[in-house]
Structure 1
Amino acid sequence: MILPNTSQNAAAVADHYDELDPVYRRVWGEHVHHGLWATGRETPTKAVEALVDTVGNRLGLLPGEACVDIGCGYGSTARQLAVTRGVRVTGLTLSDEQAHYAATHPVPEVDIHLRDWLDNGLTDASADAAWAIESSEHMVDKPRFFAEAHRVLSPGGRFVVCAWLAETDASGWKVRHLLEPICREGRLPSMGTREEYEAMAMAAGFVIDSYEDVSRRVARTWTICARRLVKAFLVDRETRRLAIGARNRFVLSIPRLILAYRTGAMRYGIFTLSKARENGAPREPGSSTQQESA
């Protein structure tokens, strides 16, 4: 597990996204995650939507199912899957700015909360499916991240995790100059490897149905972000202020991320997990009722 040389916590993660909100929406848009390219000819918008569609396909979402979006950002993934798959989604974010944005862009069957996943308040076995797109990295307690997902999912429930991963046995210079600074500047309490994620998922009770390394298909996200950031820096005063004087200096990590992908120091993996059914009985689609505890 890669650890930053300064401790990170949920408050630091929230502050990061709140302060950099204008930059993130200008550079990344409503979907604060990588794009997934199949042909290389897709627009960035189509690529980020393709990653969401991939998650929906891996989960096998059916109309009426109750779902949880762990670390939902601005709620764009939740909105897209609610509209295209007919599911009901509860999303959780640590960022007040993200929660406010989601509240001003409502769609039916999507409910966004300002709440820490590690203290989520959802009842046991209340969801049919869950996903975490690039949010597990921000979890202080990753074993508990998986344990909470297992608790909230009903028997037979499915879980997809899209994660920034460290290269297995990354060399010292990659850790010192790429991975540790990315964790520190991006407010990641830790960055795990594929093997560490699989071990934590199995310890929580999940079955690992599949894993796919899509690093090559997502890496161009960062060259696109770099170009957008340079353009924004030249024309937008707020972007210049945040790039130069913000407490959170994540913009410094963009060149590191480009190099981390090119050298293999960082990987991007999609895990498809499932919770065992009780007594082998099939789960009826949409049978769970997602509720919050009082």
Structure 2
Amino acid sequence: MIVPDISQDAVAVADHYDDLDPVYRRVWGDHVHHGYWLTGRETPREAVEALVDAVGDRLRLAPGQTCVDIGCGYGATARQVAVTRGVRVTGFTLSAEQAQYAAAHPVPGVDIQVRDWLANGLADASVDAAWAIESSEHMVDKPRFFAEAHRVLAPGGRLVVCAWLVGTDARGWKGRHLLEPICREGRLPSMGTREEYEAMATAAGFTVTGYEDVSRRVARTWWICAGRLLKVLLVDREMRGVALGARNRGAVLSIPRMILAYRTGAMRYGIFTLTKAGENGTAGDPG
């Protein structure tokens, strides 16, 4: 587990996203997560929506189900899933700015709340499916993140987690100069390995029914962000002031670290499919 030299908490995470709100939306849009290129010909917008579709496919959602988006950002993923899959979604974000944007773009069946997932207030076994796209990294207590997901899921329910992970080749300078600063600048209390995630999920009661390393399909995200950010800094004086004057500007300027972390194998991107045992105690079909 990589832990930054300055501890991070939920307050720091909320401040990060509130502070950089205009920059994130200008540079990348209302999906605050990687794109997923299957053919390589997708536009960035199509790529981020493709990642949402990949999550929905792994969840095997059925119309009418009740779902939870853990760390929902601007609510774009919740809205896409609700519309395309016919489900109801409750999203949790720490950011008031993100929730305000979501409230201005309502979709039937989607409810976005400003609330910490670790104190979500949901009843036991009250949802059919849950997902966390690049939000588990921000959890101060990752074992509890998994435990809460297991608690609120109904028997047989699925959790899909898309996560930034520590690669097997992350020793020495890669950990010190790439991953630790990425955690610090991105307000990540820690970054775990695949093995650590699977151990925490299993300890919470889940069965790991699927895992895929999609690093090569998502890494292009940061090259696009770098190009867009450079253009913004060069041509938009107002946005340049916002980006460079932000309290959390280190995250904006750490994009080269992300590119190098993927290129060197220090960081990986994994998609986990986890299943809670059904009424008969079985985990269901693998996949």
Name the TM-score, length of structure 1 as normaliser: 0.94
Aligned ranges 1:163-174 → 2 under 5 Å: 163-168=163-168, 170-174=170-174
Name the counterpart of 1:276.
277
Q: CA deviation at 1:281?
A: 8.5
CA distance in 1, matches of 2:127, 2:103: 22
Cα contact 1:215–1:261 (8 A) shared by 2? yes
Cα contact 1:168–1:194 (8 A) shared by 2? no
Name the counterpart of 2:232.
232
Q: CA deviation at 1:280?
A: 4.9
Amino acid at match of 2:120: N
CA distance in 1, matches of 2:118, 2:258: 27
Name the counterpart of 1:43.
43
Aligned ranges 1:64-103 → 2 under 5 Å: 64-103=64-103
Q: CA deviation at 1:272?
A: 0.2
CA distance in 2, matches of 1:281, 1:143: 22
Q: CA deviation at 1:158?
A: 0.4
Inter-CA distance 177–86: structure 2 relative to 1 (3 Å threshold): same
Q: CA deviation at 1:279?
A: 2.3
Cα contact 1:71–1:92 (8 A) shared by 2? yes
Q: CA deviation at 1:233?
A: 1.0
Cα contact 1:210–1:272 (8 A) shared by 2? yes
Name the counterpart of 2:266.
265
Structure 2 residue 216 is matched with structure 1 residue 216? yes
Name the counterpart of 1:179.
179
Name the counterpart of 2:189.
189
Structure 2 residue 148 is matched with structure 1 residue 148? yes
Inter-CA distance 198–128: structure 2 relative to 1 (3 Å threshold): same
Q: Deviations over 1:154-213 (max 9, x none)?
A: 000000000000113621100111000000000000000000000000000000001000
CA distance in 2, matches of 1:226, 1:61: 35
Q: CA RMSD in A?
A: 1.3
Name the counterpart of 1:201.
201
Q: Deviations over 1:114-167 (max 9, x none)?
A: 000000011100000000000000000000000000000000000000000011
CA distance in 2, matches of 1:65, 1:209: 20
CA distance in 2, matches of 1:9, 1:246: 19
CA distance in 2, matches of 1:234, 1:10: 33
Amino acid at match of 1:101: Y
CA distance in 1, matches of 2:221, 2:201: 27
Indicate the larger mover: 271-280 or 75-84.
271-280
Name the counterpart of 1:8.
8
CA distance in 2, matches of 1:22, 1:280: 47
CA distance in 1, matches of 2:184, 2:64: 40
CA distance in 1, matches of 2:113, 2:271: 25
Q: Give unmatched runs, 5+ long, in structure 1.
A: 284-294
Amino acid at match of 1:243: A
Name the counterpart of 2:112.
112
Cα contact 1:18–1:95 (8 A) shared by 2? yes
Q: CA deviation at 1:100?
A: 0.3
Report sequence identity in percent: 80
Q: Give unmatched runs, 5+ long, in structure 2.
A: none
CA distance in 2, matches of 1:94, 1:281: 34
Name the TM-score, length of structure 2 as normaliser: 0.97
Cα contact 1:136–1:163 (8 A) shared by 2? yes
CA distance in 2, matches of 1:279, 1:113: 33
CA distance in 2, matches of 1:282, 1:218: 29
Amino acid at match of 2:68: V
CA distance in 2, matches of 1:152, 1:169: 35
Inter-CA distance 281–2: structure 2 relative to 1 (3 Å threshold): closer
Runs of 4+ in 1 over 4 A off after TM superposition: 280-283
Cα contact 2:169–2:265 (8 A) shared by 1? no
- Secondary structure in 1 aligned to 2:280? helix
Cα contact 1:63–1:87 (8 A) shared by 2? yes
Amino acid at match of 1:140: V
Name the counterpart of 1:290.
none
- Secondary structure in 2 aligned to 1:279? coil
Name the counterpart of 2:127.
127
Name the counterpart of 1:253.
254
CA distance in 2, matches of 1:5, 1:280: 42
Inter-CA distance 195–281: structure 2 relative to 1 (3 Å threshold): closer
